Structure 1
Amino acid sequence: MVEGSRTRALIRRRQRRRRSLAAATGVLVAAALAATAGLLYLQRGGPATPAADASASESVAAAPSPEVPVPSAPPPSFPVSGPNTFAYAGASADVLGTGTAAVKQYRVALENKSGQDLAAFADTVRRVLADPRGWTAGGDVRFQQVAKDSQKVDFTILLATQATVDKLCAVGGIHTEQFTSCRLPGQVVLNLTRWLTAIPGYGAPLAEYQAFELNYAVGKELGHGNEACPAPGEPAPVMQKQVLGLKGCTPNGWPYLDGKRYAGPALP
């Protein structure tokens, strides 16, 4: 009887200890959670930000920065359009070429307000046409510069702005896109932009490109057709449209090389 009472009392004491321990554990857990929350609060500098605000912050951070403006190319030092009126060089007594071949008489004209020197342009034309690598080397043609009002004119060499060239050539059904020159019956129309800058990556001095421009157009006037690059690494024929690319050939502005007519495969 006494033993049973002692046993029941022992059980009650153990139960009280368990309840006290559980209560203490709960207090400790709650305190730990509160401390953790407080630490997070301090670390974040305030209450947690709502999810929507976080997304907005990310969107602002991810927004691309404004593009840095790219400086535009400087304007050319020469005009690209003009009044489509021309000044003409005077006559020259010099006959370019040797022998008794027929003399082709030509005029030299420069668009007004082009910023170029007419006498200097006429001198360049004479120098190219008289060069021993030029068309006179074949002995079948000679050239002479005549005045604007000359009674006999075979063709006129005009240097004009790219916009004017486009208009003049369009009359003959040729669309230059303001990039190329053209030849019309009785007219060699040279693009001022090409004359002063050649084409990108031509790979030769400007004088060589000018020789090509003039000799190609005069060659057309003399009846020569278009030719192709004969082989990669070879000089381009002067009657190749080098303004549209060398197609593997090297730059060349002359119809005669080493005293012989230099040509490539004929094109339609």
Structure 2
Amino acid sequence: MGGAVALLARDDVPARAEAPRRTPVTSSPAPAPSGPTASASPSATPSATPSSSPPREIQVPPEGPGTFTGARIGGEPQGEGRIRRYKVEVEDGIDLDPDEAARAVSAILGGPRGWTRDTAYGFQLVPSGPADFTVRVATPGTTDRLCFVTTPSSKGNVNCRVEHSVVVNLKLWVQGSPQFDGPIEDYRALIINHEVGHEIGRGHETCPGPGQPAPAMMQQIKGLRGCTANAWPYDSQGRYLAGPFVP
């Protein structure tokens, strides 16, 4: 995130960003569901790590073909609110298995400090069929195209939510940010919680006061303003970590 604009929702770009862009972004047909399903129960800790396997190195190509393959797995509904169905797709040519990415996203969205802590929200990972939104993991170059990035200093360094797509920059997913003081799993949680927060209608917030956790909806890349880095919408007691609304 240092010097990057890692948590922009791209609602700060011209209104044309809200219109579909005719870029070659297509999804390969998802095979029938197979393999283990994503966990539907919240994890016991706020960590978003989907497994205890040691981390492996993932290469980050600067550009990809702009086509995507969907995860084959689905999961049970998570949360008590209106269920939003979502898919997870990974750009072709990336050394990241779509099912692996889907498990990570599912663990974040169903985590005990995630959005499902509020009974208004619910999510369900689906491998095919209708979906309310899609989470796409893409190379930096493809992310720039989908997020309508034109500012040179921002190129290769953003995630975004455009239309009903949450676009996750592979570079930030793999390398994290020097501005975020925490494990890479928590930084990934911040990406998903922030951008999916926009998908469920949440706007930007700012620091509520020195020494307090930064809201998940704060653009923490622009500076913490005295707050401490934080990836989650809620604390361990279920209290929403709010900050003043940013118009």
Q: Above 0.5 in TM-score?
A: yes
**Structure 2 equivalent of residue 260 of structure 1:** 239
Contact 2:78 2:123 in 1 (8 A): yes
Contact 2:87 2:134 in 1 (8 A): yes
Pick the aligned partner of 2:220 from 242, 248, 251. Answer: 242
CA separation of 1:194 and 1:177: change in aligned 2, threshold 3 A: same
SS in 1 for 2:143: helix
**Structure 1 equivalent of residue 6 of structure 2:** none
Pick the aligned partner of 2:92 from 109, 112, 116. Answer: 112
SS in 2 for 1:253: coil
**Structure 1 equivalent of residue 206 of structure 2:** 228
- Cα offset, 1:261, TM superposition: 1.2
- Cα offset, 1:91, TM superposition: 4.5
Structure 2 unmatched runs, 5+: 1-57
SS in 1 for 2:147: helix
Q: How far apart are the structure 2 equivalents of 1:102 and 1:91?
A: 21
**Structure 2 equivalent of residue 153 of structure 1:** 131
SS in 2 for 1:126: helix
Q: Per chain length, whose mean CA-contact separation is higher, i.e. which structure has more relative contact order (CA < 8 Å, sep 6+)?
A: 2
- Cα offset, 1:200, TM superposition: 1.7
Q: How far apart are the structure 2 equivalents of 1:262 and 1:191?
A: 25
Instruction: Letter of the 1:138 partner, please give it.
Output: D
Q: How far apart are the structure 1 equivalents of 2:136 and 2:150?
A: 16
- Cα offset, 1:250, TM superposition: 1.1
CA separation of 1:245 and 1:196: change in aligned 2, threshold 3 A: farther
- Match runs of 1:18-33 below 5 Å: none
Contact 1:81 1:163 in 2 (8 A): yes
Pick the aligned partner of 1:185 from 163, 168, 187. Answer: 163
Q: Which runs of 4+ in 1 moved over 4 A?
A: 173-176
Task: Give the TM-score, by structure 2 length.
Answer: 0.72
**Structure 2 equivalent of residue 124 of structure 1:** 104
CA separation of 1:216 and 1:174: change in aligned 2, threshold 3 A: farther
- Cα offset, 1:87, TM superposition: 0.5
Instruction: Letter of the 2:195 partner, please give it.
Output: A
- Match runs of 1:1-268 below 5 Å: 77-97=59-79, 99=80, 101-148=81-128, 150=129, 152-170=130-148, 176-257=154-235, 258-268=237-247
Instruction: Letter of the 1:113 partner, please give it.
Output: G
Contact 1:232 1:249 in 2 (8 A): yes
Q: How far apart are the structure 2 equivalents of 1:241 and 1:128?
A: 19
Structure 1 unmatched runs, 5+: 1-75
Contact 2:214 2:241 in 1 (8 A): no
Contact 1:86 1:111 in 2 (8 A): yes
Q: Deviations over 1:67-104 (max 9, x none)?
A: xxxxxxxxx9421211111000125141111x3x2110
Q: How far apart are the structure 1 equivalents of 2:75 and 2:111?
A: 17
Instruction: Letter of the 2:241 partner, please give it.
Output: Y
SS in 1 for 2:168: strand
Percent of aligned positions that are identical? 39
